[in-house]
Amino acid sequence: MDALDILTDLDNVFPYFQPIFSADEHRVIGYEVLGRYRGPDGVASLGPFFQDENIPEEFRIEVDYEVLKKALDKAQELDKDIMLFVNRDADLLMYNDGEQFLGILQEYEKKGISLDRIVLEITERNYKGDIDHLDHLLNYYRTYGIKLAIDKLGNESSHLDRIGQLAPDILKVDLESMKSSASAHNFNDILYSLSMLARKIGASLLFENIEMVYQLQYAWKNGGRYYQGYYLHKPAGNFTERDILKEKLRSECHRFIVHEKKKLESLYQVTLEFNEKLIDFVNKNKKVFVYEETLAQLAVLLEGAAFRLYICDEDGFQKSANYFRRKESWITQEEYLHKNWSWRPYFLENIMKMRINKKGILSDLYTDIETGETIRTFSFPLNTNDYLFVDLSYDYLYNHDGLL
């Protein structure tokens, strides 16, 4: 694709629109604007043109605004609550101090397109300019009601502090990374951090590049409010009917709900079984015991499930050594005695829950620091002073439906 061919043939530069669906309404709530060019070989994406830094900025900007203006012209036929997602590279946006972009939007505001329907998708990973200047411009845009989305999350480790600083309205997560099983584990950790951050700053998660139903389920399960991808609808030159997938999404979300409820029932059942076992054990061993002997007895009781046991007080100080299963035998790890774990997320909160409710708690999935395996921990109040922690092995979780 020759840049000069495009610049001298702007009549054949035009927008495509990819619909974005919502989890709460199961209908189209917006469109991402994508650039296309109709050449002698058919319709081609303008993505490579916009990303080619060998093409002068003013040329790329001219084509970019041609696409934007044609998209806004066409968007006048949309319902007044449908959003338009507009991509902008940070360097190109800062050209002319960002005034041209705002000027075009204000021009179309007079034609009935409210600025609070515009979502600016900003990509800034390779931004070469003054970051404070960029932040000032983005905040200035937001005073007009323009929403901010951070683009291209999920295909590399994200700068969480930067996201927190910008406090965008939408975080856009790229599910392309899920195709690589080698990066899936790392992706899950990044996504968990992003979902926690999104909740803290009041942002919504938008999952893009959904190409299979399992990816839609993954997005739904991980707090995605908005969905986009070829599995749902391909980009097109025209808008689609808003409720085109309403029944399909309702049906698939119902299947997701049923699956998740079964998983929660399994978690509840496992929690109940561990509680019953340990309550029975405590009732038969009323007095506080020698910790090492107690852990040895519990290891027999929980054979096949536990690979590490230890006892802490309510402040998180370890009162026993670790009782750790290595291959086919149990060993004692004295170096863990007196260590403090109160810094761990939810530790003190869970201690309080156990003290009040007098029963144990099953943790969520996490990666064990020592073994590197995905595990869960079951914690249980042995008495008013002692709290048992049982680390459940990956093999046990794998062999029990709903635990992974």
Q: What is the pLDDT of residue 157?
A: 46
**Residue carrying the six token digits 């829950």:** 353
d(CA 50, CA 78): 27
**Which residues are CB-neighbours of 225 under 8 A, at least 6 positions away?**
22, 23, 24, 204, 205, 206
Is the model's pLDDT at 404 over the cut of 90?
Answer: no
E strand segments, 131-282: 147-153, 170-174, 204-208, 224-227
Give the pLDDT band (50/70/90) at residue 376: very high
Please indicate, yes or no, if residue 113 is contained in any of the structural domains: yes
**Alpha-carbon distance 195 to 81, whole Å?**
26
The residues pairing with 392 across neighbouring beta strands, listed in sequence order, are 306, 376
Asked whether residue 231 falls in the same domain as residue 305, the answer is: no
Domain with 340 in it: what CATH number? 3.30.450.20
| Residue that is last in its domain, among 236, 254, 282 | 236
In the numeric block, the tokens 């960002």 are attached to 98
61 and 162 share one domain: yes
The yes-or-no verdict on residue 358 having pLDDT over 90 is yes
Range of the domain at 175: 3-236
Cα Rg, the chain, nearest whole Å? 27
State pLDDT tens for residues 99-113.
999 999 999 999 999
- The pLDDT of residue 396 is 95
Is residue 156 pLDDT above 60, yes or no?
Answer: no
Same domain, 97 and 232: yes
Q: State residue 218 phi and psi, 5-degree precision.
A: -60, -45
Which pLDDT band holds residue 166 (cuts at 50, 70, 90)? confident
Residues 54 and 126 in one domain: yes
Same domain? 271 vs 181: no
Q: Is 334 strand, coil or helix?
A: helix
User: What CATH number is associated with residue 145?
Assistant: 3.20.20.450
Which of 45-54, 73-82, 359-368 has maximum average pLDDT?
73-82
Same domain, 316 and 375: yes
β-sheet bridge partners, residue 381: 387
Task: Reply yes or no on whether the pLDDT at 126 is more than 80.
Answer: no
The total number of structural domains that make up the chain: 2
**Count of Cβ atoms closer than 10 Å to residue 248 Cβ:** 12
Q: Find out whether 226 and 204 touch, Cβ atoms under 8 Å.
A: yes
Structure confidence by residue, pLDDT tens digits, 206-227: 999 999 999 999 999 999 999 9
Interhelix angle 246-284/213-221, nearest 10 degrees: 60
236 and 17 in contact (C-beta within 8 Å)? yes
Residue 187 has pLDDT above 80, yes or no: no
Q: Is 261 exposed, middle or buried (0-12, 13-18, 19+ CB in 10 A)?
A: exposed
- pLDDT attached to residue 197: 86
Does 143 lie in the same domain as 60? yes
Q: What is the pLDDT of residue 1?
A: 67
Clarify whether residues 218 and 294 are in a common domain.
Answer: no
